[in-house]
Chain A
């Protein structure tokens, strides 16, 4: 099994002298779901966002598809980004556009601005969008405005948009944190299905440990900007969780 993503000595300082990420070293396999857990402020979100350079790393390497994602700029960065799909905690849909248009946004890295503006997307993209809508359970919603949808529905659109990119890697930054427990499970199931059917690695950042245990193939535990746990969910003991999160009350 080849590695899809290799991160070496990644660090990030928003304020000089106070690193949020300290020397992260991790490789992500080419398939399966990897979740990152840890307390707030420990750099989980920063780590995920460094991968597609929404946050610029201070030092280190992120090797993916033959590129160092920490270094690419300009056109190369855009080409790298279109290979990486991202799902956001607050869905980040363009509210005033319809569901279909939001899905097609996933293809913006592949279509020229002029054609995109005039909504002239290739018919294969449109067909793929329609079938994706059915896959995520939103068939018939194509012409609804994004702001008319519920939270769970919006996240499905968000996932569909990311999958529209035909990405080689899927990132998810707290995808279920704004959703109720039942919908959270549905969304995690959807992400698992996508990981399996498209055979791509999925990297999810989340704070719900139970959910992580249930769906992940591998769990990375972060604390204080470092990775302190790396292994299968069944090896995640309460002791280790206490180390990561500190304090006992929340465990029971």
Chain B
């Protein structure tokens, strides 16, 4: 039975030890300081702020009526392209992220430098926004859906890899131990010991990321990486707000449809 010293006076009781309280105080202080510092240095132009309601009203006025007739020619194909970008990007990410995720898991790959390298790759992938990845790939491969797919893929590697790594860490050591004790080679331990345990989590992660990627793919076109974003960019540049409204509605519908689809698949399969 662990005895905890509570202080000499039995009637005094504190919820946290002094060391714990210090830590909490430091965090509170840092957060408040950050907010105050940000408030003081942010540049806000008051005229723009006062103008805002008028601008918003103007915006909604220009968005209505929504340009429905534009859909078949301008929007439909781009929407499909967006979905393709999201799907292929997610699949590619699964392919690429799995080895990296395995490398990052110390239980499978007991080499600290490799773990670190893999973790670095995952962090870098997550830190760079999909839009920025799109910029990079548009620079390399030129504008179009190829750049978009690669951007989605590379961005998702960090997400999928990190969650797969966590799933691997949370597997039961028992079966793994048993397989090792029987003398299984590393690859067999992976496919018979780890894979069955993380299978549901893996597909769950994949579906989850696909759902997010549909949203992400939609805006990549703003920098030229294909999909509905390019139609959006064109409409924005020409200030065709009614078309912008159409695209936003179409986007909303697609995103909701994807979420519903993913939920259904989850219910049936997972």
Contact = CB atoms under 8 A, between A and B. Distances in A.
Whether both chains belong to one complex is answered with yes
A130 B13 CA distance: 10
Contact of A140 (B2, B12, B15): B2
B11 A142 contact: no
A197 interface: no
B238 interface: no
B6 interface: yes
Contacts of B1: 140-141
Contacts of B12: 123, 126
A173 interface: no
B4 interface: yes
Contacts of A126: 10-13
A153 to B, nearest CB: 10
Contacts of B4: 140-144
B191 interface: no
Interface string A157-186: 000000000000000000000000000000
A100 to B, nearest CB: 6
Interface residues of B, number: 10
A130 B10 contact: yes
Given A101-B15, A119-B15, A143 B10 contact: no
A121 B13 CA distance: 9
A15 interface: no
A114 interface: no
Nearest to B11: A123
Nearest to A143: B4
Interface in A116-169: 119, 121, 123-124, 126-127, 129-130, 140-144
B11 A127 contact: yes
Nearest to B6: A142
A100 B13 contact: yes
A140 B3 contact: yes
Q: Is the interface of B mostly helix, strand, loop or mixed?
A: loop
A98 B268 CA distance: 41
Nearest to A129: B13
B11 A143 contact: no
Contacts of A130: 6, 10
Looking at A121, A129, A143, the one whose CB has the most chain B CB atoms below 10 A away is A143
B121 to A, nearest CB: 36
A119 B14 CA distance: 8
Interface in B100-151: none
Contacts of B13: 100, 121, 126, 129, 142
B2 A144 contact: yes
B172 to A, nearest CB: 21
A138 B17 CA distance: 20
Nearest to B9: A123
A127 B6 contact: no
A81 to B, nearest CB: 25
Interface in A182-227: none
Nearest to A153: B1
Looking at A98, A126, A144, the one whose CB has the most chain B CB atoms below 10 A away is A126
Nearest to A122: B11
Interface string B27-42: 0000000000000000
A124 to B, nearest CB: 8
A141 B6 CA distance: 10
Interface in A70-117: 98, 100-101
24 contacts: A101-B15, A119-B15, A121-B13, A123-B11, A123-B12, A124-B11, A126-B10, A126-B11, A126-B12, A126-B13, A127-B11, A129-B13, A130-B6, A130-B10, A140-B1, A140-B3, A140-B4, A141-B1, A141-B2, A142-B4, A142-B6, A142-B13, A143-B6, A144-B2
Given A98-B15, A126-B10, A143-B6, 12 more contacts: A101-B15, A119-B15, A121-B13, A123-B11, A130-B6, A130-B10, A140-B2, A140-B3, A141-B1, A142-B4, A143-B4, A144-B2
Interface of A: 98, 100-101, 119, 121, 123-124, 126-127, 129-130, 140-144
- The 6 nearest A-B residue pairs measured at CB: A123-B11, A140-B3, A143-B4, A127-B11, A126-B13, A130-B10
Interface of B: 1-4, 6, 10-13, 15
